[in-house]
Amino acid sequence: MTTHQPSAIGDPQSATGLAAIAAAFARAKAEGRPALMPYWSLGYPDVETSLRVIEAIARAGADLIELGVPFSDPLADGPVIQRANQIALNRGITVSRCMQIAAQARAVGVNVPLLAMGYLNPVIAYGEARYVADWQRAGAAGLIVPDLPPEESDALKQECDARGMALIQFTAPTSTDARIRLAALHASGFIYIVSVAGVTGARDRLPEGLRDYVERVKAQAGNKPVVVGFGISKPEHVREVGRFADGVIVASALLKYAGDAPDPAQAAYEFVSSLRYWA
């Protein structure tokens, strides 16, 4: 357990894009822990609050932050994230406004790598080249597009590669070794390991066989970090997964805990701190 304390809004970084992501994982590894990547839906419960939550998450010690771009048909997401997305959409959030929130977070000093997580339809509607360029301008280090299979990702990956940005790829428990190799080949930044065959959502227990599954992906990953998401909700989950993975993503549990709190930013700070500084 490290005694390191983060700076006001994340550790200072001079690197951007892929270099910033690599540096975040390297720092966490040097401190003997997994990199922590909380998720928050932009515009939830409103624009200003979501900005304050991002600041709080960074202050609490997040190594990276996944920024959810709300979409009306989030096929990989469970009820908690769906609800947050719908509230944000009902209040007028757009892709452009999401980018503005990210840029504001950078402007107030949030230094940790930001990963924009959005579905493919809005990317196509916005225009792939424009989408990547504008997210880079907003301060994102990379993109997560959960419904983009690796064999159809070349155009978007070329845009990301040209700007030194990551394009994350996924594996699932049902992935064959061939599919894992394909995801690893196309991935940049890190590989997102979906821990269960299902949608996002907090779970009481980690799935059986998770370590073996992660080791199977690591065998194909080369030097790319592997990060586990879906179902991570407690400090003990972070501690356990950190024994065999490079990072963890926490989404639904954080949204559920902080979203309806009287002060979502303070609640998010407390929740992320409990995950980051486990004993």
pLDDT of residue 49: 98
Name the more confident of 180 and 233.
180
23-31: long-range contacts, CB 8 A cutoff, minimum separation 24: 24/63, 24/64, 24/112, 24/113, 25/63, 25/190, 25/225, 25/246, 25/247, 27/63, 28/63, 28/246, 28/247, 29/246, 31/2, 31/4
Please calculate the CA angle 95-12-230 and round it to the nearest 5 degrees.
50
d(CA 141, CA 164): 8
pLDDT of residue 201: 38
> Please, which residues have CB within 8 angstroms of residue 181's CB and are 6 or more apart in sequence?
220
Please calculate the CA angle 11-277-169 and round it to the nearest 5 degrees.
65
Min mean pLDDT across 114-128, 144-158, 177-191, 195-209 is at 195-209
Residue 205 scores a pLDDT above 70: no
215 is known as an active-site residue: no
pLDDT of residue 52: 98
The proportion of the chain whose per-residue pLDDT surpasses 70, expressed as a percent, equals 89
**Scanning the structure block, which residue is given the tokens 């845009």?**
159
Residue 7 scores a pLDDT above 90: no
Active-site option among 55, 63, 66, 240:
66
Active-site option among 55, 63, 77, 134:
77
Q: Convert the pLDDT of each residue in 265-275 to its tens digit.
A: 999 999 999 99
Q: Convert the pLDDT of each residue in 132-189 to its tens digit.
A: 999 999 999 999 999 999 999 999 999 999 999 999 999 988 899 999 999 999 999 9
Residue 32 scores a pLDDT above 80: yes
| Domains of the chain with bracketed CATH | 17-276 (3.20.20.70)
Residue 8 scores a pLDDT above 50: no
Name the more confident of 47 and 260.
47
pLDDT of residue 278: 56
pLDDT of residue 16: 83
Residue 130 scores a pLDDT above 90: yes
Residue 12 scores a pLDDT above 80: no
Min mean pLDDT across 112-116, 176-180, 206-210 is at 206-210
pLDDT of residue 11: 60
Residue 119 scores a pLDDT above 60: yes
Cα-Cα-Cα-Cα torsion 52, 113, 158, 144, nearest 10 degrees, comes to -60
Task: Please state the rounded mean pLDDT for residues 229-234.
Answer: 82
66 is known as an active-site residue: yes
Number of H helices, E strands in the chain: 12, 8
**DSSP H or E stretch at residue 244:** none
Task: Please state the rounded mean pLDDT for residues 72-87.
Answer: 85
